[in-house]
Structure 1
Amino acid sequence: MQTRFSEESKNLPRAEEAERILRSCVHCGFCNATCPTYQLLGDELDGPRGRIYLIKQVLEGQPATASTQLHLDRCLSCRNCETTCPSGVDYHNLLDIGRAVVDHAVPRPAGQRALRLGLRSLASSPERFTALLRLGTVFRALLPTNLTAKLPRPSPPHGERPPLEGCVQPGLSPNTNASAARVLDRLGVSVIPCAQAGCCGALDYHLDAQASGLDRARQNIDAWWPHLENGAEAIVQTASGCGAFIKDYGHLLEHDPNYAAKARQVSERALDLVQVLGKEPLEQICAARNQRIAVHCPCTLQHAQKLGGSIEALLTRLGFNLTEVPDGHLCCGSAGTYSLTQPALARQLRDNRLNALESGQPELIVTANVGCQNHLDGAGRTPVRHWIELVDQSLAE
């Protein structure tokens, strides 16, 4: 499509990138067919094509409004549309550019600002987040339903805290990293602790604080770089949402003279756990039992990292009994903090996804991202775990 950016927009740091992305869109509308929010709401402005037009209008000088902000906020950033788009429109980067412009022009109400600041400060700190979870568990009976759904269901501990960490995962799903460390150890793959690394930056970046998100990326690069120089082969993530953002460091910091080269290498070395274990002889150490399993493949794994089907292939190879899951490309509604900032839509998407996942009557649902796991499991229906816990269990047996 043609663009006529305003003089102000031409001076934006990512103006050329935005114009290139907009010009690649042929407004065919195929993206709407796989957009979760468009399917729920049926509003053109709540689909990718409509949001692209809204961003284009703002960049061409039309005033941004609270309505513009709402339609952009409703986007899950699931990137399903990117998988569908025949023109290869880089939608998620355009959305990030558009959101930054709109959020600068449209001040949020005090309640929204407080929620987003609270999420950024709590979720990015494992200590504060875990302490809050413990407090919530103590007072579970007094909390409203939407908050109790976010508290993890009790599960037996699988071991000590491993050198793989994270932000919310140690509190919400401590068994995940313990299981990963144990399986990697059995395979002879050593895990190097890196206490200096922190939140990947995605929370800040997607909650009106892009500069803070990039600062966190730089801090992580500084923490990982000595290990890479000393021979570490990969930076492994057990949460696909974090992995998707880390694999974007190279692009997001490509114009930073001090970090561009390092960021590119970090992104190239970032691997999801399934990429590591998919190449290992797991059959020699695992004994799968005949348990019906449904796999929820997170959007960040299948649409962002292009690793759709990799978990299913690995578990099938190990002999697990996987059920058929219709519409496996659709989002569960977790989308980072979306289940807290857009709770009504998130619940609808969660229930639709669970209906599809449970259609084959599985005994357990597995996924690859802590946000999806917590969101789906919060419905109190079929238990949801990280897939590595299943592999670890078969290892123990």
Structure 2
Amino acid sequence: MRTEFTAEQLADPAMATSQGAIRKCVHCGFCTATCPTYVLLGDELDSPRGRIYLIKDMLENARQPTPQVVKHIDRCLSCLACVTTCPSDVDYMHLVDHARAYIQERYERPWHERFARSVLASVLPHQNRFRMAAGLGNLFRPLAPLLDKARWSRPFAAMLRLAPRGLPSAAPETTPEVAQSKGRVAILQGCAEPVLRPETRAATMRFLARAGYQPVLASGEGCCGALVHHMGREDAAREAARRNVDAWHAEIAEGGLEAILITASGCGTMVKDYGFLLRDDAEYAEKAAQVSALARDVSEFLADIELPDAVPMPEIKVAYHAACSLQHGQKVTREPVRLLEEAGFTVLTPAEGHLCCGSAGTYNILQPEIATTLRDRKVANIARLQPDVIAAGNVGCATQIASGTAIPVVHTVELLDWATGGPRPAALANLECDSTI
């Protein structure tokens, strides 16, 4: 696609990156076949190609963002299915990130949108605040139908519906000691996962210790920054990245790290991009690049090491949900399935596995109608397989899918831990199987 950015505009590194992405687009339209919003809505402007046209015009002409442009950019899930499909290697991820930051800086949203986004940015990245809000959300859940009646309050209705009906207790974290360690691995603690599904990290630490690796939790580390980054709040995202880079470098200095493991794939895509996010920061660029090089999804790491023996459980049918941030953002596709198969489970893959479930960070709160339609479509495809359990590698996906089905949803590593001697996942307490585990 031809561009006419000025030399002055291209002095901005973000603008230069966006020009490079736009120029690679050849209008082929392959992206439309895999874009969830285009598949649902059929609007060219709700396809990656259409959004590229809108972004090009806005950036190139230094236009003030209009409500129409903002609407179509907001509807993008950042699922990156288009990146997987694109034959021209268009860097759509960084292009849409730049567009969101541009909009955040220059567009005056209606008061109710500003309010909802401020609440999300102030609460979700902070464990204690999120835990309190989730508890209150369950208490006020009956108000959701009332809040649905007004457009301004629909995001809050979505929050109430997604609130867990009961929160796991925030038990003190214990890290198992490994006598003859093969290496130290840091585990991202994050923000939402420890509140909603602390069993994921517990299973990860048990499994790693059984495999001979010493798990560590870096002091001072927190939210990866993805939640605010996807709302265009770049300064807050960079602040989160710098904090985590410092925390992990302290661990590297103390005893070295084989890897930084991430059990929430949305966070993994973000941490692997720290090197790009802080590329112009003289103090952090090199350190951030090192962190990104060490970052790996837990399934990606486990696929490359020797694992404990498992007791086969072929009678348990596992529907594997491929999180967008894992399959499209990180290009980790086969590893989780292979790990589950080698652990002895019968693994099933649903139709339309490339399409997003509608979670996408805060998307299921800010765009609840589209998100619910995508969730129902995903759940219907999974239900046709008649699985005993759904395995997913992202807490957002697990929460979204679980809100639409009675089939238990667990993290892939919980099943691997169970198959190799760990406890049965609590979500599978009522599952009947012949295994002695």
Match for residue 15 of structure 1? 15
Aligned partners of 1:5 and 1:60 also within 8 Å: yes
Give TM-score, length-normalised by structure 2. 0.86
Aligned partners of 1:166 and 1:199 also within 8 Å: yes
Aligned partners of 1:6 and 1:59 also within 8 Å: no
Which amino acid counterpart does residue 214 of structure 1 have in structure 2? R
Which amino acid counterpart does residue 256 of structure 1 have in structure 2? D
RMSD of aligned Cα (Å): 2.0
1:256-271 counterparts in 2 under 5 A? 256-271=281-296
CA shift digits 1:270-299 (9 cap, x unpaired):
011102221333351454352111010101
Match for residue 386 of structure 1? 411
Match for residue 137 of structure 1? 138
- CA–CA distance in 2 between the matches of 1:102 and 1:46? 17
Match for residue 201 of structure 1? 225
- Are the structure 2 counterparts of residues 73 and 256 from structure 1 closer, same or farther at C-alpha, using a change threshold of 3 Å? same
Residue of structure 2 aligned with 1:146, choices 155, 158, 162 = 158
Give TM-score, length-normalised by structure 1. 0.94
- Are the structure 2 counterparts of residues 103 and 193 from structure 1 closer, same or farther at C-alpha, using a change threshold of 3 Å? closer
Q: Structure 1 residue 94 and structure 2 residue 95: aligned?
A: yes
Q: Structure 1 residue 54 and structure 2 residue 54: aligned?
A: yes
- Paired residues in the alignment total 397
By how many angstroms is 1:328 displaced?
A: 1.0
Identity %: 43
Which amino acid counterpart does residue 47 of structure 2 have in structure 1? G
Which amino acid counterpart does residue 369 of structure 2 have in structure 1? A
By how many angstroms is 1:166 displaced?
A: 1.8
By how many angstroms is 1:205 displaced?
A: 1.1
- CA–CA distance in 1 between the matches of 2:250 and 2:402? 38
Match for residue 105 of structure 2? 104
- CA–CA distance in 2 between the matches of 1:263 and 1:72? 28
- Are the structure 2 counterparts of residues 166 and 286 from structure 1 closer, same or farther at C-alpha, using a change threshold of 3 Å? farther
- CA–CA distance in 2 between the matches of 1:252 and 1:156? 34
Aligned partners of 2:104 and 2:233 also within 8 Å: no
1:1-397 counterparts in 2 under 5 A? 1-5=1-5, 9-61=9-61, 62-141=63-142, 143-144=144-145, 146-152=158-164, 161-162=173-174, 164=187, 165-229=189-253, 230-288=255-313, 290-394=315-419, 395-396=421-422, 397=437
- CA–CA distance in 1 between the matches of 2:92 and 2:197? 31
Aligned partners of 1:58 and 1:64 also within 8 Å: yes
- Are the structure 2 counterparts of residues 212 and 159 from structure 1 closer, same or farther at C-alpha, using a change threshold of 3 Å? closer
- CA–CA distance in 2 between the matches of 1:152 and 1:267? 32
Which amino acid counterpart does residue 217 of structure 1 have in structure 2? A
- Are the structure 2 counterparts of residues 353 and 284 from structure 1 closer, same or farther at C-alpha, using a change threshold of 3 Å? same
By how many angstroms is 1:142 displaced?
A: 5.1
Aligned partners of 2:228 and 2:236 also within 8 Å: yes
- CA–CA distance in 2 between the matches of 1:158 and 1:364? 25
SS at match of 2:216: coil
Structure 2 unaligned blocks of 5 or more: 146-156, 176-186, 423-436
Deviates more, 1:261-270 or 1:251-260: 251-260
CA shift digits 1:57-95 (9 cap, x unpaired):
012214420110110000000110010000000001011
By how many angstroms is 1:193 displaced?
A: 1.9
Aligned partners of 1:160 and 1:178 also within 8 Å: no
- Are the structure 2 counterparts of residues 286 and 162 from structure 1 closer, same or farther at C-alpha, using a change threshold of 3 Å? farther
- Are the structure 2 counterparts of residues 180 and 160 from structure 1 closer, same or farther at C-alpha, using a change threshold of 3 Å? farther
Aligned partners of 2:319 and 2:391 also within 8 Å: yes
